[in-house]
Amino acid sequence: MKQFALVFIGGGFGSALRFLIGKWLNNPNNGIPYGTFAANILGSFLIGIILGYVVKNQRVGEITALLLATGFCGGFTTFSTFAYENHIFLKSGDFFSFAFYTLASIIVGFLAVFLGMWLIKIT
């Protein structure tokens, strides 16, 4: 039950922060949903840092990983919104935004995880 509570609390904070970033950066009149993109990239970077730290410091364990990686980053990032936004691009015939947003999200997301883990590894 403690594990569930940790994921629940972390996920709540992550989801609330993603909501605020979306309200701030997403503009329905602007093609690319920058709020979702920013949350997914920042979340990828944070999970790289968090899990890199957990792996590097064996004394930091399951509690930290559940609260921050599974909970916070899981609630903060959003694949379902990403998929829906791409559906809207395809439905409207905006194939350029679809391709750009999809490729940028995947490539920059992977790079952000690697950068986070690299930063922890060298510090």
Which residue segment(s) compose the domain that 7 sits in? 2-122
- In 1-123, alpha helices (H): 2-25, 34-56, 62-64, 74-76, 79-92, 95-122
Residue-level pLDDT at 123 = 56
DSSP state of 123: -
pLDDT band at 94 (very low <50, low <70, confident <90, very high): very high
Instruction: Work out how many domains the chain is built from and give that number.
Output: 1
Higher pLDDT, 120 or 30: 120
- Is the pLDDT at 2 greater than 60? The verdict is yes
Chain segment 35-76, per-residue pLDDT in tens? 999 999 999 999 999 988 888 887 777 888 899 999 999 999
Residue-level pLDDT at 83 = 96
Q: What is the mean pLDDT of the chain?
A: 92
Amino acid at 23: K
Chain segment 103-119, per-residue pLDDT in tens? 999 999 999 999 999 99
